[in-house]
Structure 1
Amino acid sequence: MPKFKYVGRDRNGKREGSIISTSRREAFIKLKEEGIRVLHMDEVPESIFTKDITIGNPVKLQDFVVYLRQFSTLIRAGVPVVEATNVLANQTESKALKRALLDVEGDLRQGNSLSFATAKYPKIFSTMFINMIKAGEASGALDETLDRIATQYEKQHETKQKIISALIYPAVLGVIAIAVIIFLLVGVVPTFVSMFADFGAQLPFITRFVLGSSEWMQSYWWLVLGLFAFLFVGISIVRKQKNSKYYLDYFLLKLPIFGKLLQKASIARLTRTLSSLLSSSVPILQAIAIVEKIADNEVIAKVLANARGSLEKGESLTTPMKAHWAFPPLVTQMISIGESTGSLDVMLDKIAEFYEKEVDNATDRLKSLIEPIMIVLLATIVGTIVTAILVPMFDIFNHIQM
C-alpha cells in the first residue's frame, strides 16, 4: 500500500509523521478520526523492494469483469455512482483496483465525471472503457454500457485463451521433442562411441550421421541455446517497434494453418469491439480510431486507418477492406449491408459471433491434427537415433558369433 508523509496539527500542536493507506483520501479520513488536521501531505515513492510488482495490466480480468457486473447491478438498482464506487472499492479482492476506485470516488465527490476520474488510470481502464463510459453517461444508460463492456472483455478473453492454447500446445510438444533429442545425442549416444571405434568396420551412413550430430551437439550446445535466446529477444524487440511489427504480423498471417487462425481471431476482436463502441453511441470515426489503437495486429490496424480515411472522404467503410486480403468477402459484404441499412453495430456483432465460433472450431481441429503429427515426428527422430545405434550393434553381435 502507498505510504504518505504528513504535516498537521492536533491538541498538542504541530505534528509530523507517516501513514500507510490505500489512497490519499483515506489517509486524510484516518488522520481526521485521530484528531489530526492535515496541513500538508505527500506520497512517499515506493522502492523496488516495497512496491507491488506487476506485468501488464495490474488488475486480473476476472476481478475487472466482476467489478463491471456488480457496478451495473448497483446502478440499475438506483444506487448513486459515488456510493456504488465506494461499495465496490471496499469489497474487491484486487489491491490495485481498490486503490484506483478509492481515488475515483474522491474525484466523483468533487463533482468530476466517472469517465474523467477513470482516465487517470490508463493501465486499469482502457481507452475503449473510458469512451464507452463517456457515451453511457451522455445517454443515461450507464448500466447497459457497463454490461456491454463486461461482455466485450469476457468474449475477448475467451478468444485470446483459445488462440494461446492452440499455439502453446505444439510449442510445448516441440520443446519436449527437442529436449529428448538433445538428451539422446548428448547423454546416450556418446556411450556407444568407444564400442563402435573398437569394432573397426565401416559404420552405416545413418550411424555416422548420428555420431557426427552427437559430437557437434556436445561441442556447440551453447550455440543452440544462444540461437533460441537470440530469437526470443529479437522477436520481443521487433514486437515493440511499430514498423517492424507490421512485417512480423504480415508474416504470421501468411503462415499456413496458423495464419488463418490468427486472422479469424483478429477479425472477431475488432468487430466485437467496434460493435460495442457503436452500440454505446460512440461516433464511428472515433470508434474506429480506438479500435486501431487496441488492435493486436498492425496489418489489420493499417486497413482500419485506411477505412477511417475513406469515411472522412465520404466513401464507404468497406472500400479499403475489399482491396485487402486480410478481410474475407463475408466480412466486407455484411459490413456493407450494415452501412446501407443503418444497423452496422448489429452486423458487426453477428460477424464477431461467427468468427468466435470459427476460432473455437479451428483450435479444436488444430489440436486434434497437431497431436498425431508431433507424435509421429518425435517417434521418427527417436527411432532414427535408436536404429543408428542398433544396426552396428547387430553387426558386432554377428561378428562375435562368427
Structure 2
Amino acid sequence: MAYFRYKGRNKTGKVVQGRIKGDSQKETVQQLREQGIAVTSIEELTSILYKEIKLFEGRVKLQDFVIYIRQFSTLLKAGISVVDATNILSQQTNSKVLNAALVDVEEGLRAGNPFSDVAEKHRKVFPSLFINMIRAGEAGGNMDEILDRLAVYYEKQHNTRAKVKSAMAYPIVVGGIAAVVVIFLLAAVVPTFASMFQSFGSELPLITRLVVNAGNYFKSLWWVFILLVVAAYFGFTTLQRNPKTKYYIDYALIKIPIFGKLLQKAALARMTRTMASLFATSVPILQSVAIVERIVGNEVVVKVLKESRNALETGQSMVGPMEKHWIFPPLVTQMLAVGEKTGSLDVMLDKVADFYETEVDHATDQIKSLIEPLMIVFLSVVVGGIVAAIAIPMFSIFEQIQ
C-alpha cells in the first residue's frame, strides 16, 4: 500500500484535493471516481513519513496454511461462495498475517477481481504454486477439486518437513543438553575440587590438569564462546541468503554421512510432489519447472532443474540433464522418461513422490535409532571423563591420608 496526493473536481465542480491510501495509482484513481471525484492530477508520496513500517513481518506458518486450504476446500464443496468462504476464514484463522491478506482478498473479490489476481499481491502469504493452481481451477471451473489437491499436497509437505526437522533436532537437543552439563561441571564443580587438590600439594594426573585448565579457560573466556556461537549463526544465515554460497552449503549437507541421504530424499520428494500437482492441473511444463525451482529449497537440485528447463525450451527431453547428475537416482530419471514417452508425467511423478516420502519416514526412524546410542556413548565419555578427572586424584589423597 502507498499514499497518493490528488487534485480534482467533485460532482458540483468544486476543486478538491487531499491524500489517499491505495495499492496502485490506477486503483486509487478508480477509488476516487467511485467517490464522485474526477481526478486531474495524482502523485505518489515517497517521503519516509508516508512509508509503512512493518517490524518483524513474517510469513504464514505452514501448519496454519494447511488448515486454511483444507477449510477453504470444505466450504466450497458445501456450496458456499468464494467471497463468503474467504470472509469466514479471515475471521477464523489464528494467523494475523493470513487474516490481513484474506481481508484484502475479500475486498478484491467483492470488487469483481479473480481470487488468483488478488492473491498474487500477497506473495509472502500465497506461494506461486498455490496461485497458479488456483488460476487453473478458475479457468477449468473446478476450484474445489484444485483446493482439495492443494490441501493434500501441503499436508504431505508439512509431514515430510516435520519428519526431517525431528530427525535433525534430536542430536541438536541432546548435544545442547550435553553442552550445558559440561559447562556446569567445568564452571561450578571442577574449580571447587581443583582448589581442594591444590591445598594438598600433590601432583595432579594429566586428565585432571586438562579438565582444570579447560574450566579456567572457560571461566575467563566465556564471552568469546558466546561471540563465536552468535557469529557462526549470523554467518551461516548470511551465506544461506546468497544463491552461490548456498549451492556449496547444500552440496556439503547432502554429502555428509547419515543426514545427507535424508536431505536428498526430502528434496526429491518435494520436487516430484510439486511437479505432479502442477502437471495434474494443466499448468504449462516450462512454468511448472520454473515454479519448482523457486520452492524446492536445494540449490543443487535447482541448478539441474534450470538445465532441464533450458533443454525443454530447445525441444529436448527434460530428463537428459537429470541423468547426468548424481543427485537424481536412476529411479527418478527412468520414471520421468517413461512419463514423457507415455504422456503420464503427473502419474509417474506421483508414484516417485510417494516412494520418497515413504523413504523419508524410514530414514528418520533409522537415524533416530542410530543416533540415540551414539549420543548416549558420547555423553557417557564426556561426563565420565570429567568425573574421572575428579575421582582419580581423590583416591590418591585418601591413600596419602591413610
Normalised-by-shorter TM-score class: 0.7 to 0.9
Query: Which segments of 5 or more consecutive residues in structure 2 lack a partner in the other structure?
Result: 1-9, 11-34
What SS is found at the alignment partner of 1:201? coil
Question: In the alignment, what sits opposite 1:146?
Answer: 147
Structure 1 segment 300-379 matched on structure 2, within 5 A = 300-379=301-380
What SS is found at the alignment partner of 1:112? coil
Q: Does 1:68 align with 2:69?
A: yes
Structure 1 residue 197, shift from structure 2 partner: 2.0
Report the Cα distance in structure 2 between the residues aligned to 1:219 and 1:324, rounded to whole angstroms: 50
1:88–1:186 CA distance, 2 compared to 1 (3 A): closer
Structure 1 residue 201, shift from structure 2 partner: 3.3
Report the Cα distance in structure 1 between the residues aligned to 2:146 and 2:368, rounded to whole angstroms: 36
Question: In the alignment, what sits opposite 1:5?
Answer: none
Q: Does 1:266 align with 2:270?
A: no
Residues 73, 148 of structure 2: 8 Å contact kept: yes
Question: In the alignment, what sits opposite 1:293?
Answer: 294
Structure 1 residue 345, shift from structure 2 partner: 0.5
Report the Cα distance in structure 1 between the residues aligned to 2:38 and 2:377, rounded to whole angstroms: 74
Structure 1 residue 319, shift from structure 2 partner: 1.0
**AA matched with 1:244:** T
Structure 1 residue 249, shift from structure 2 partner: 0.7
Report the Cα distance in structure 2 between the residues aligned to 1:201 and 1:328, rounded to whole angstroms: 63
Question: In the alignment, what sits opposite 1:275?
Answer: 276
1:192–1:68 CA distance, 2 compared to 1 (3 A): closer
After superposition, give the CA deviation of every residue in 1:215-238 in whole Å (9 maximum; x if it has no partner): 222222222222111111110111
Question: In the alignment, what sits opposite 2:28?
Answer: none
RMSD of equivalent CA atoms: 3.3
Mean Cα deviation higher: 287-296 or 201-210: 201-210
Structure 1 residue 396, shift from structure 2 partner: 1.1
Structure 1 residue 328, shift from structure 2 partner: 1.1
Structure 1 residue 105, shift from structure 2 partner: 2.7
Mean Cα deviation higher: 201-210 or 246-255: 201-210
Structure 1 residue 317, shift from structure 2 partner: 1.3
TM-score if structure 1 supplies the norm length? 0.84
Report the Cα distance in structure 1 between the residues aligned to 2:374 and 2:231, rounded to whole angstroms: 27
Q: Does 1:193 align with 2:189?
A: no
**AA matched with 1:162:** K
Structure 1 residue 182, shift from structure 2 partner: 1.3
After superposition, give the CA deviation of every residue in 1:165-222 in whole Å (9 maximum; x if it has no partner): 1111100111111111111111111112233223333322212221222222222222
Q: Does 1:253 align with 2:277?
A: no
**AA matched with 1:135:** A
Q: Does 1:231 align with 2:232?
A: yes
Residues 63, 158 of structure 2: 8 Å contact kept: no
1:192–1:139 CA distance, 2 compared to 1 (3 A): same
Question: In the alignment, what sits opposite 2:136?
Answer: 135
What SS is found at the alignment partner of 2:315? coil
Report the Cα distance in structure 1 between the residues aligned to 2:275 and 2:204, rounded to whole angstroms: 66
Report the Cα distance in structure 2 between the residues aligned to 1:378 and 1:358, rounded to whole angstroms: 30
Report the Cα distance in structure 2 between the residues aligned to 1:73 and 1:335, rounded to whole angstroms: 33
Number of aligned residue pairs: give it.
380
Question: In the alignment, what sits opposite 2:19?
Answer: none
Query: Which segments of 5 or more consecutive residues in structure 1 lack a partner in the other structure?
Result: 1-8, 10-35
1:373–1:90 CA distance, 2 compared to 1 (3 A): closer
Q: Which runs of 4+ in 1 moved over 6 A?
A: 36-40, 44-48
1:375–1:38 CA distance, 2 compared to 1 (3 A): farther
Question: In the alignment, what sits opposite 1:207?
Answer: 208
**AA matched with 1:204:** P
Identity over the aligned pairs, expressed in percent?
A: 56
1:94–1:228 CA distance, 2 compared to 1 (3 A): closer
**AA matched with 1:202:** E
**AA matched with 1:167:** M
Report the Cα distance in structure 1 between the residues aligned to 2:201 and 2:116, rounded to whole angstroms: 82
Structure 1 segment 168-187 matched on structure 2, within 5 A = 168-187=169-188
Structure 1 residue 151, shift from structure 2 partner: 1.1
Question: In the alignment, what sits opposite 1:125?
Answer: 126
Structure 1 residue 314, shift from structure 2 partner: 1.9
**AA matched with 1:345:** D
Structure 1 residue 75, shift from structure 2 partner: 3.3
**AA matched with 1:155:** K
